[in-house]
């Protein structure tokens, strides 16, 4: 696969609609062409302790950020015609669908590919696990900022270029 957008969401709480950041890496002809990182005011707008422990974001970080519809209006044209790739795509696709639903937006049926599933098929038992940081390292990407949405999207793009 040479044309795709790798995407990663972080959430503020246990609700999939509570996306608080998104990282997107657009790849065309096998080359990274654009990187996008946006903070998003989550819906519902509260942070659970555990989510903050994972990604470090708090309500202070996103209270002045735009809501999902404004962010998506900005990025959607850049994704047009591209499949979306995520590590553990059911989570990220679930977040995207939930955010669309929460704001009454019509979901455009994006095509998703999963680098976690692809890793299991490609590497099998060669890896101790198929977590993003493990697979990224196997594909040559040092994921030192794990759970920063853009770093995770970059790792996913590297994996996709290597094995999809």
Helix (H/G/I), strand (E/B), else coil: 27:
strand
* Residue 29 confidence class, pLDDT cut points 50, 70, 90: very high
Residues 6+ apart with CB under 8 A from 65: 20, 38, 39, 40, 41
Q: What distance in Å separates the CA atoms of residue 160 and residue 89, rounded to the nearest whole number? A: 12
Sorting pLDDT into bands at 50, 70 and 90, what band is 69? very high
Cα torsion 27, 29, 30, 31: sign: negative
Residues 105-163 pLDDT 10s: 999 999 999 999 999 999 999 999 999 999 999 999 999 999 999 999 999 999 999 99
pTM: 0.97
Domains of the chain and any CATH numbers: 4-163 (3.30.420.10)
């Amino acid at each position: 696969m040479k044309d795709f957008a790798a995407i990663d969401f972080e959430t503020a709480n246990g609700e999939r609609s509570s996306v608080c950041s998104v990282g997107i890496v657009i790849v065309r002809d096998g080359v990274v062409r654009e990187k996008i990182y946006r903070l998003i005011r989550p819906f519902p707008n509260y942070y659970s302790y555990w989510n903050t422990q994972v990604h470090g974001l708090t309500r202070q970080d996103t209270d002045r950020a735009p809501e999902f519809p404004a962010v998506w209006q900005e990025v959607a044209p850049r994704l047009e015609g591209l499949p979306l790739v995520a590590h553990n795509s059911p989570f990220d696709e679930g977040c995207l669908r939930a955010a669309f639903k929460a704001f009454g937006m019509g979901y455009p049926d994006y095509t998703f590919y999963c680098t976690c599933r692809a890793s299991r098929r490609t590497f099998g038992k060669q890896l101790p696990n198929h977590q993003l940081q493990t697979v990224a390292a196997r594909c040559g990407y040092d994921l030192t900022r794990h759970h920063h949405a853009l770093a995770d999207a970059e790792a996913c793009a590297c994996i996709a270029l290597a094995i999809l």
